[in-house]
């Protein structure tokens, strides 16, 4: 099954992106989502090719944000699609059934849509305000996750849900108790000096007895 911890990459340049991703992988991160909005297609393609090779060395899952065509071109593991991106149906048609397709959701209606589209996991959020993403959807908080996960259960919607958006270490026990499958983080890993210690603690929290 999927790793419970996703790292969503940060960096204003290809070099910054690569440094952050490489450091996360070298210190035990097993799932990378490449999110690089600033570069040219050529820069993104070159970066993705390099990241894919490094992910293969660590047997880590490699997802690309909002670019199914590049996933197909370099044979990455899958794609993550926002609500305004290509539809899951179109991406599935392009990539086939073997690739992972994740989708963003904020409301129960979004969750139903993603489930009906048969995406493989949902990135549900934001948990709290975050500067990582522009045009932020309404913040959910713990109560929002409790409510949405409960409604999913009632409606027999069974799909892995990752919490996302401004999550800190102290949030994890409470979040996992809501029934989410895992978490997706960006700044928490990028800004941490001792990534090995952080990733060890994150995995202990995520794979502990919740």
Going by C-beta distance under 8 Å and a sequence separation of 6 or more, which residues neighbour residue 43? Answer: 14, 36
Buried b (16+ CB within 10 A) or exposed e, 183-199: bbbbebbbebeebeebb
Read off the pLDDT of each residue in 190-200 and give the average, rounded to a whole number: 94
Lowest mean pLDDT among 118-127, 161-170, 180-189, 200-209: 200-209
Look-up of token digits 């700044």 = 187
Beta bridge mates, 161 = 122
Q: Tell me the two tokens of residue 197.
A: 């210690």
Write down the mean pLDDT value for the chain: 94
Nearest to 140 by CA among 174, 117, 113: 174
Element (DSSP H or E) covering residue 126: none
Share of the chain above pLDDT 70, in %: 96
Structure confidence by residue, pLDDT tens digits, 17-58:
999 999 999 999 999 999 999 889 999 999 999 999 999 999
210 pLDDT exceeds 60? no
Give all domains of the chain, ordered by start, each with its CATH number: 5-206 (3.20.20.70)
Q: What is the pLDDT of residue 136?
A: 62
What's the pLDDT at 209?
46
Rg (CA), the chain: 16
């Amino acid at each position: 099954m999927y790793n419970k911890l996703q790292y969503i990459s940060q960096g204003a340049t290809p070099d910054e992106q690569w440094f952050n991703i490489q450091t996360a992988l070298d210190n035990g991160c097993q799932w990378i989502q490449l999110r690089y909005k600033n570069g040219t297609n050529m820069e993104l393609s070159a970066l993705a090719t390099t990241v894919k090779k490094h992910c293969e060395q660590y047997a880590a899952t490699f997802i690309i944000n909002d670019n199914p065509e590049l996933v197909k071109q370099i044979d990455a593991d899958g794609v993550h699609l926002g609500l305004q991106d290509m539809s899951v149906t179109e991406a599935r048609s392009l990539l086939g059934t073997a690739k992972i397709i994740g989708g963003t959701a904020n409301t129960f209606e979004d969750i139903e849509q993603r489930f009906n589209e048969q995406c493989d996991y949902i990135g549900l959020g934001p948990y709290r305000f975050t500067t990582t993403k522009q045009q932020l959807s309404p913040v959910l908080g713990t109560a929002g996750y409790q409510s949405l996960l409960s409604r999913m259960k009632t409606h027999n919607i069974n799909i892995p849900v990752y919490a996302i958006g401004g999550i800190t270490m102290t949030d994890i026990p409470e979040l996992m108790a809501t029934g989410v499958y895992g978490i997706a983080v960006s700044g928490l890993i990028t800004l941490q000096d001792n990534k090995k210690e952080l990733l060890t603690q994150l995995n202990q929290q995520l794979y502990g007895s919740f």
